[in-house]
Structure 1
């Protein structure tokens, strides 16, 4: 079987397994080859692609990080990738998967973030989500979670849904956060066309224990791999859209209506229940419960009393989450073995060779 076919089969296995665990139907979107929707952003020599173009690895070494960007900007959409994070000692390392228009609207940009925050050996990766609208960086809307699986051993899918009515973040097809638009949010809700980005970079000054632990390049290069790349949305010119849009705005309005009516966007009772379970079991910080920072909760906050009681006034969890030992994956061992075999067949041997060469050069 060809590598591309093996990878496609693995994605179907993983989606079905994730759905079985969560009790939710799998989100079916069409994955694309890198060149169909993306281009290098920076660190060109640290961007490695598999032979079939469906898996991209971003490297961070002593010389630079790396990143890629969508070839188009989108007015709303569903943005998704399966990601495998660097392993071992990753303090100070940040892997980001996010949408933004900061290159076009420097002082009033919009942004939707997945930020994966590395850690010292033995401590888990944490993932942070954030929402900015119209340059509202002084009102960060961070939530932070500890993932219920090891994100370094297998690929897991992370998705951002953005419509005119709501933003939702998904982990393995399970919604983990929803921010619904309200009149009181005003321009804080993202509304202008955005590009999709993926990056790995050195955030030693803040990412791990407030900068206490920095990137140690003896453990590099740090490799984050992306596959199952998906872009579902209306391509848009940001300047024209902000100026009125004309025919383009009408076309995007029709696409928006179809997206909001799709299975991806409809927040069913089952999705709401799965989201509540994830948050109860994995959320370790929420700005909505950070009364030191926001004595009056921001308008979109849906304060859940059962959640609120578990958090300090600082918004951090009162007690450390306790795990029952390491878990390879929430999808189950069988799916994990299938995924590992498929990924090994699909990934380019050149990626591993290049990473090894870079490590050898860094150690010289």
Structure 2
């Protein structure tokens, strides 16, 4: 037990003080991942470093990391399906739901498809200790078409904060606060990638559903980075923490320049934040820091959700982050 605590603290310190390189070693699929579901709907390309996940009338598909991690930097280049993609969800996320059925943790990137002519949306979320009754979703548009080419999507997870990156630009930071309690992800997790039919909620609250006339929907993954502290799945003791190069790195804490870039991105592209959702919360969750300009902009974007209507709460069923899309 003492050794476990020492090693866990060591990994946390390394994560806090080290930088995470934009040129970290890229692993092949066989080195880092295993087939999760979908039979032949998962195809590994000949180079061994690229994978295609497809969704058709039979099934979606997915893969999972072979190792369990406690903190680290996790990244992949992803190219999303084009054309009509309503109801389709591509997910790149960390979870321990298989190990902790009732009190699992999760860190999510979810890509929400759309009708023809409308853009993909990117949604981020976290759960800690099974806190699925408190959704912490934020949703964004992007400054590019994610179906045109590959783009990098990354998660930095440390003991006290989580940062989501798109093409090495920080788009969201979640800091661990005392008021969050166990809602901050703190148990070892594995990394997943999936494509699946979320017709019931993903596009305008289920108004637009998957149309299999456009199938197969193919999501392409490459440039896998798994850089963190691996954990024994039986003993749950830390095995090792990968060393980090000293140059060309993303710092574990956002620099002033990165913070400016993040603020610019959020002003231009944020479409939803749980902190301002008056339909769900009469008062924002304790960890929220309310920005009046941000609140005003979101209210103009969606006056019902962010305007404080008294006809507020509707029941929601969660599967990871099943937030209805507006």
Fold similarity call, TM over 0.5: yes
Pick which of 298-307 and 38-47 moved more.
298-307
1:277 equivalenced with 2:264 (yes/no) = yes
Match of 1:225? 220
TM alignment of 1:179-194, pairs within 5 A: 179-194=174-189
Report deviation, 1:286.
0.3
Aligned mates of 1:264, 1:231 — CA distance in 2: 16
Equivalent residue number for residue 308 of structure 1: 295
**Contact kept in structure 2, 1:99 and 1:111, CA below 8 Å:** yes
- The residue correspondences of 1:344-359 to structure 2 (distance < 5 A) are none
SS of the residue 2:257 aligns to: helix
Quick check: 1:34 aligned with 2:21?
no
Aligned residues: 284
Moved over 4 A (4+): 255-259, 313-317
Tell me, yes or no, if structure 1 residue 102 matches structure 2 residue 97. Answer: yes
Whole-Å separation in 2 of the counterparts to 1:44 and 1:264: 39
The yes-or-no answer on 1:157 pairing with 2:152 is yes
**Do the aligned residues in 1 keep the contact of 2:171 with 2:262 (CA within 8 Å)?**
yes
Match of 2:191 in 1: 196
**Deviation at residue 264 of structure 1 after TM alignment:** 3.5
2:84 is the counterpart of 1:89: yes
> Are 1:100 and 1:196, in contact at CA under 8 Å, matched by a contact in 2?
yes
Partner of 1:263: 250
Partner of 1:295: 282
Deviation of the 1:88 alpha carbon: 0.6
Bigger strand fraction: 2
CA distance in 2, matches of 1:311, 1:204: 25
Distance change in 2, residues 1:239/1:300 (3 Å): farther
Report deviation, 1:256.
10
Describe the shift of the 1:164–1:122 C-alpha distance in structure 2 as closer, same or farther (beyond 3 A). Answer: same
Match of 2:44? Answer: 49
Unaligned runs of 5+ in 1: 1-24, 318-364
Aligned pairs for 1:104-123 (under 5 A) are: 104-123=99-118
Give the structure-1-normalised TM-score. 0.74
2:140 aligned partner: 145
Q: What's the CA shift for 1:305?
A: 2.1
Structure 2 gaps of 5+ residues are 1-19, 308-326
Deviations 1:210-269 (A, max 9, x none): 11111110101000000111101011135534xxx4xx38x56xx69999xx63412100
> Do residues 80 (structure 1) and 75 (structure 2) align?
yes
